[in-house]
Amino acid sequence: MKKLIYPIFLPILFVLSACEEQSKDLNVEIKKDQLCIFTNKPKNYGTDNFLVHIGKIDFSKEYKSEYEKAYAKTILPVEESNCVYIPLSKIKKDTSYKVTLSTINSSFSAYICVQQEGSQSSLKYLEAGKDVCK
């Protein structure tokens, strides 16, 4: 009986793990001349180690991180009130970026650009697959 169970259930397990969602949406806001990032997920992830990184979107080149910061034993930013800040000075205006927050078993990302209108900065979310900030 055991010989019959393994060939049936092992392929199902591999298919289910391959279909798991790879990246979840990340929320990004501008607060106090900084990017404020948080997951906005109801699940309380608690204290975790995570990495925040930003890279320019350029589909003709390999991804290269422009900014990275590691957080050890920190509460995962699930709400705007406990967001993680990234200085706006770390990015160029009117340039497309991918912002990512990664834990050991989850990844959250957003495609954004920051536009300058006079003295005001505004944030724009980009559609997946787009690299133009208009």
Is residue 8 situated within a structural domain?
no
| Residue 61 included in any domain | yes
Residue range of the domain that includes 118: 23-125
* Cβ 102 vs Cβ 48: under 8 Å: no
State if pTM tops 0.95: no
User: Is pLDDT above 50 for 14?
Assistant: no
Which CATH number characterizes residue 118's domain? 2.60.40.10
In a domain, 119, yes or no: yes
- DSSP per residue, 75-129: E---SGGGPEEEEGGGS-TT-EEEEEEE-SS-EEEEEEEEEEETTEEEEEEPPTT
Query: How many domains in the chain?
Result: 1
Q: pLDDT by residue (tens digit) across 60-115?
A: 888 889 999 999 999 999 999 999 999 999 999 999 999 999 998 889 999 999 99
The verdict on residue 15 lying in a domain is no
Nearest to 115 by CA among 98, 91, 99: 91
Q: 131 in a domain, yes or no?
A: no
In a domain, 17, yes or no: no
Is 7 part of a structural domain of the chain?
A: no
- Give a yes or no: residue 109 inside a domain: yes
Dump pLDDT digits (tens) for 19-32.
445 678 999 999 98
